[in-house]
Amino acid sequence: MPALNKKRNAAERRKRSPARLEPGADSRLTEAEKFLLPTYKRQPFVITHGRGAYVFDASGKKYLDFLGGIAVNALGHAHPRIVKVVRREAARAIHLSNLYHNAYQGPLARKLVEISGMDRVFFSNSGTEAADGAIKLARLCARTPSDAAEKPSPKHRVIAMTNSFHGRTFGAVSVTSTEKYRLPFAPLVPGVEFVRFNDVADLESKFDDTVCAVILETIQGEGGIHSATEAFWNRARGLATQHRALLIADEIQCGLGRTGRYFAYQKFASRPDIVLVAKPLAAGLPLGAILTTEAVASRVSPGLHGTTFGGGPLICATALEFLAILESEKLLANARSRGAEVREGLAKLAAKFDFIREIRGEGLILGVELSIDGNPFAAEALRRGLIINCTHDFTLRLLPPFIITRAQVREFLRLFELALEKTPKSISAGRAQNAGNTGRLAQSAAR
């Protein structure tokens, strides 16, 4: 490699790499920085363990975790019943292959069918794989006997949403709108068209018989906690039925109890054809699932789709236990009650801090949109021992575990307020812009 290129690449790497480490830093950090692909901007400390809604770093500092591993740790950490199942199953069989039945895949599929109103299940290892599999199913279902096997079916278009996020594999990133995630990997899967989220007219104008699927997050998570409106959902459902396309609800972040219902779409009268779940399903172990109807399942035959790891015995036993705990500990009700308390507290903070523009979400998937950069507040919260996240630069995202208590909600509100008080001087300009936000806030509080 010419010397100039080498220099340029090294400079590029330095620019992309996270915060520089102090000389003599923990070797676990220096090794991570030296040997890992720099795909994440990580905080410069090591988290060693967690307990309930708290995690602890290597220095022993305690953090209240209101991000829950990005919506994964719905039961917090080290839930005794999960620990017990993992121990028990690890001593039996961690993996067996999908050429044989294991003791838990069937029962877990039955449970997911019961709570979702779907008919059949495919287990993947992650959310992105579930999204990819769903797009494949839509393409499969769109084919007719007259389509030439080696050519794309005329009915191959997929409608996706602006502001969406469905994952990083090729299919999922093709229906994800964020350009920085997409453009470096072009050409992506062809036939995807984006519709403005919640814009019924835009949806109608792009729908026709060449569409095989419409995919949306019932509540957009990564995009800053935006819910599909009832009008948009109903129209998407209607158009999908009219044009024999599949309605795919990505509930990977908002599903499995986070809203206080098993699925966010259950507030609407109609169901999707495919539901995607992942994140909390196996209480932190990697498991995703495609839930679908008998009509879709009837097009599938052995060998069309598959995975080595998906649905292994240890992971499915853990997911069954997760769903059992949701019931026995009444965690859907807890998500509703604690969510309402968090929201009430946030509304009070919005009256105090005029740079809070809007509070969105329901249950324990909440977004606090600011009129100014939210990253310094997330950093300040972390310094004070509270983990939250800032998405799209302006929205502070809260995804706490479903097990949080009243006292922990109070602790969160206290720490969050302290973080907001640490207002950088540079934002005073933002405050002036905010004079007109009162109406918007009143609206969001009413929802």
How is residue 56 written in tokens? 């602890």
**Looking at beta carbons, which residue is closest to ligand PLP?**
127
Q: Closest distance between ligand PLP and the C-beta of residue 432, in Å?
A: 34
Q: Closest distance between ligand PLP and the C-beta of residue 424, in Å?
A: 28
Q: Closest distance between ligand PLP and the C-beta of residue 349, in Å?
A: 26
216 and 268 Cβ atoms separated by less than 8 Å = no
DSSP-derived letter for residue 392 is T
Q: Cα–chain-centroid distance for residue 141?
A: 26
Nearest to 249 by CA among 225, 269, 265: 265
User: How many beta carbons lie within 10 A of that of residue 67, not counting itself?
Assistant: 21
Cα separation, 388 vs 380, in Å, equals 10
Cα separation, 322 vs 86, in Å, equals 11
| 252 vs 314 by CB, closer to ligand PLP | 252
Cα separation, 192 vs 198, in Å, equals 17
| 161 vs 296 by CB, closer to ligand PLP | 161
Q: Closest distance between ligand PLP and the C-beta of residue 58, in Å?
A: 26
| 53 vs 67 by CB, closer to ligand PLP | 67
Q: Closest distance between ligand PLP and the C-beta of residue 128, in Å?
A: 3
Q: Closest distance between ligand PLP and the C-beta of residue 165, in Å?
A: 5
Q: Closest distance between ligand PLP and the C-beta of residue 194, in Å?
A: 16
DSSP state string for 78-93: --HHHHHHHHHHHTT-
234 and 179 Cβ atoms separated by less than 8 Å = no
Burial of 234 (0-12, 13-18, 19+ CB in 10 A): middle
Q: Closest distance between ligand PLP and the C-beta of residue 378, in Å?
A: 17
| 250 vs 273 by CB, closer to ligand PLP | 250
| 165 vs 265 by CB, closer to ligand PLP | 165
| 125 vs 434 by CB, closer to ligand PLP | 125
Binding site for ligand PLP (CB under 6 A): 70, 126-128, 131, 165-167, 217, 221-222, 250, 252-253, 278
161's enclosing H/E stretch is strand 157-161
Nearest to 52 by CA among 32, 70, 34, 66: 66
Q: Closest distance between ligand PLP and the C-beta of residue 163, in Å?
A: 11
| 70 vs 347 by CB, closer to ligand PLP | 70
Cα separation, 383 vs 220, in Å, equals 28
| 65 vs 250 by CB, closer to ligand PLP | 250
Burial of 232 (0-12, 13-18, 19+ CB in 10 A): buried
| 250 vs 369 by CB, closer to ligand PLP | 250
Nearest to 49 by CA among 39, 36, 61: 61
